[in-house]
């Protein structure tokens, strides 16, 4: 994260370089409607302009839209070249990158400061913190009732041709969220977020939470047929729960909604405090 921006009074045109960042922009009502978005997350009321493909940015197109500020996703989502080029033409670029939940809060506040809506940002993060805490407390109380923490695996993705399995990366906010629910989280590699099948069998999840989205939506039957997966307790008992991954895997202001969905999937009978 770098760069400071003075607030401006006229509407800002800001371009978002990944869908995750867009979530934050949504919450600032002062936004001018021009936004560039790359992926499939229709946000009501936003006018979308394509500025590139996943991981590739059409720098020229961005420049032609004359943004006042570009907010870019870090952690390799945006190439350093593209950022450098934009800065070369004097377009300020704010790079945000979030390894942890606390980091997400800080990012939102940073974006808020950058666009001159710091107060709104703080209001958002305060509410988020409260919501998250409430859900975590309720979930942990529920989890404490059981003798041992259930072993849970969140299925992020799977490649049939190579048998590669993707789960929550160790130290990621997703792993953190699951941890806050009071479960024994099975994580994938810190960098590649892969987990080898033999390791998964060793860890033996009792519950599999399937993060479903437009691209990845296998059925529990399909999961049961994956080579080696039938040794997992969760597959044997059929405890495979689907949840929409939209708010869960995006580090933005809707994270609390994601946490709610996750908690609901994990403890369906539990009464959870509402989140807007």
Partner 1 sequence: MTARSIPHEVRRTGFANRFRGRTTVIALVGIAILGVLMVVGVTVGSTQIGPFDTLAVILHRLTGLNLGRTWSDATDTIVWDLRLPRVLTAAVVGAALAIAGATFQGIVRNPLADPYVLGTSSGAALGAAIGILLPVSFAALQLGIVNILAFIGAIAAALLVFQVGGGGRAGGMTRLLLTGYAVGSILAAFLTMAMYVSGTNLRTIFTFLLGGLGGASWDRLLVAAPIILAACAAIAVRARSLDGLLLGDAAARHFGIDVRRERGILLVLASMATAAAVAITGLIGFVGLVVPHVVRLLVGAPARRVLPISAIAGAILLVSADLVARMLGDLPVGVVMAMLGAPFFLVLLYQARSGYEL
Give residues in contact with partner 1 (CB under 8 A).
Answer: 53-55, 159-164, 196-199, 201-202, 204, 215, 217-219, 222, 225-228, 230-231
Closest approach of partner 1 to the CB of residue 225, in Å: 6
Residue pair 173/185 in contact by the 8 Å Cβ criterion: no
CA distance 94 to 128: 22
Closest approach of partner 1 to the CB of residue 67, in Å: 23
Residue pair 197/160 in contact by the 8 Å Cβ criterion: no
Nearer Cβ to partner 1 (8/236): 236
Closest approach of partner 1 to the CB of residue 271, in Å: 34
CA distance 218 to 214: 11
Nearer Cβ to partner 1 (11/196): 196
Nearer Cβ to partner 1 (8/217): 217
CA distance 254 to 212: 17
Closest approach of partner 1 to the CB of residue 236, in Å: 8
Q: Which residues contact 28 (CB under 8 A, 6 or more apart)?
A: 111, 112, 115, 117, 120, 121
CA distance 74 to 1: 8
CA distance 9 to 116: 8
Nearer Cβ to partner 1 (190/217): 217
Nearer Cβ to partner 1 (48/201): 201
Q: Which residue has the tokens 């405090």?
A: 273
Closest approach of partner 1 to the CB of residue 149, in Å: 20
């Amino acid at each position: 994260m770098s760069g400071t921006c003075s607030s401006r009074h006229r509407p800002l045109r800001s371009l978002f370089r990944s869908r995750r960042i867009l979530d934050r922009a949504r919450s600032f009502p002062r936004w001018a409607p021009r936004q560039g978005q790359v992926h499939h997350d229709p946000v009501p009321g936003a006018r979308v302009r394509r500025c590139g493909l996943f991981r590739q940015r059409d720098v020229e197109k961005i420049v032609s839209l004359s943004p006042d500020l570009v907010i870019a996703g870090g952690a390799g989502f945006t190439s350093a070249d593209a950022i450098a080029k934009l800065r070369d033409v004097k377009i300020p670029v704010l790079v945000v990158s979030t390894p942890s939940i606390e980091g997400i809060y800080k990012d939102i506040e940073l974006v808020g400061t950058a666009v001159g809506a710091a107060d709104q940002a703080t209001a958002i993060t305060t509410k988020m913190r409260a919501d998250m805490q409430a859900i975590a407390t309720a979930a942990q109380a529920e989890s404490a009732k059981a003798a041992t923490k259930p072993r849970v695996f969140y299925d992020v993705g799977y490649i049939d041709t190579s048998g590669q399995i993707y789960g929550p990366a160790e130290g990621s906010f997703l792993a953190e969220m699951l941890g806050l629910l009071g479960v024994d989280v099975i994580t994938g590699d810190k960098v590649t977020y892969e987990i080898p099948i033999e390791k998964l069998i060793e860890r033996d999840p009792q519950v599999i939470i399937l993060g479903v989205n437009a691209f990845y939506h296998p059925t529990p039957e399909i999961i049961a047929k994956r080579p080696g997966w039938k040794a997992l307790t969760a597959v044997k008992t059929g405890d495979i729960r689907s949840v929409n991954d939209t708010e869960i895997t995006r580090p933005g202001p809707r994270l609390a909604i994601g946490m709610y969905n996750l908690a609901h999937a994990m403890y369906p009978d539990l009464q959870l405090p509402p989140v807007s």
